[in-house]
Structure 1
Amino acid sequence: MVVELPDFLIRQARKDDLPALVAIFAADAVGGHGDTTDPEAIQDYLGAFAVIEASPDQTLYVAECGGEVVGTFQTMVTTSLTGRGSSGMIIEAVQTRADRRGQGIGAAMIEFAIAEAKGRGVRLVQLTSNALRKDAHRFYERLGFKPSHLGFKMALK
């Protein structure tokens, strides 16, 4: 898909993108991750950003349009003994700013991640989506993803 937006690009996130990214996550009513724009929480985000930035197998991206952050996603490459020792890419935290949805930004981010995965020679790309996000499920299926597993979580904090 070609996104026809002025000055659209996808790039690696920088530390100065954090306020915009946190605002996108905090505006998500469905996620329930406890994200907040409260200035007291910035150290938590800075710590997480440092971990991601230091990892050779994790990358945090932003979609930028006209100099504004309008979306984000993160990729993680994992290697497992299953699949004869193959690697896979996990796409996480896919978010498009609410006022920019429906413009092809989300599809462009996913296509970018898939191209990155192919470039790294991984066997498969996978992602999870909150069970309540029916529109997102249809979106991922339109992009070629197939529902295949049932996920489980256990909150520890």
Structure 2
Amino acid sequence: MAVELSDILIRQAQGDDLPALVAMFAADALGGHGDTSDAEAFADYAKAFAVIEASLNQTLYVAECGGEVVGTFQTMLTTSLTGRGSSTMIIEAVQTRADMRGQGIGTGMIEFAISEAKGRGVRLVQLTSNAIRKDAHRFYERLGFKPSHLGFKMALK
């Protein structure tokens, strides 16, 4: 099934989208985030959704096609003193449903985020990608992102 980008609606996520989002993250074998569609974990996702929804600097989006959630991403705005007090948009948790990959949905989501950043006068858009996701790295580079920094993480839980 081929999808036309004009058939994709990108909108802010709503509470009713949460089961589809959880299922998408749980199906990601490479992510390593411990996501699960186990009903006992749903409260954790609902709590996180409420925090994101209440934030002035975070937005969770979904890509919808034919009334189904087929992709998602989250943006965060941060302002620092570096860059003369400029703002940066961070794109996180980019995910396209496995059966819908390769159809331009990811491109549409990233282009949407970049357009939002430009509209807000943001100086820089950045994202991170798991080091093992070589296909994702090529995808981001094709969209104009440059691998410029080395990231470090420390798991606390």
Q: Secondary structure at the match of 1:102?
A: coil
Between the aligned partners of 1:156 and 1:110, the Cα distance in structure 2 is 29
Between the aligned partners of 2:41 and 2:140, the Cα distance in structure 1 is 31
Which position in structure 2 is the counterpart of 1:43? 43
Between the aligned partners of 1:67 and 1:49, the Cα distance in structure 2 is 20
Q: TM-score, with normalisation over the residues of structure 1?
A: 0.97
The Cα shift of 1:4 comes to 1.2
Q: TM-score, with normalisation over the residues of structure 2?
A: 0.97
Identity of aligned residues (%): 86
CA RMSD after TM alignment: 1.0
Q: Would the aligned equivalents of 1:76 and 1:89 in 2 still touch at CA under 8 Å?
A: yes
Which position in structure 2 is the counterpart of 1:119? 119
- Write out aligned runs for 1:1-157 (5 A): 4=4, 7-157=7-157
> Which structure 2 residue ranges, 5 or more long, are not aligned?
none
- Matched residue type, 1:20: A
Between the aligned partners of 2:6 and 2:142, the Cα distance in structure 1 is 25
> Which structure 1 residue ranges, 5 or more long, are not aligned?
none
Between the aligned partners of 1:88 and 1:108, the Cα distance in structure 2 is 20
State the number of aligned residues: 155
Q: Secondary structure at the match of 1:129?
A: coil
- Matched residue type, 1:73: F
Between the aligned partners of 2:81 and 2:126, the Cα distance in structure 1 is 17
Q: Deviating runs (4+, > 4 A) in structure 1?
A: none
The Cα shift of 1:7 comes to 3.6
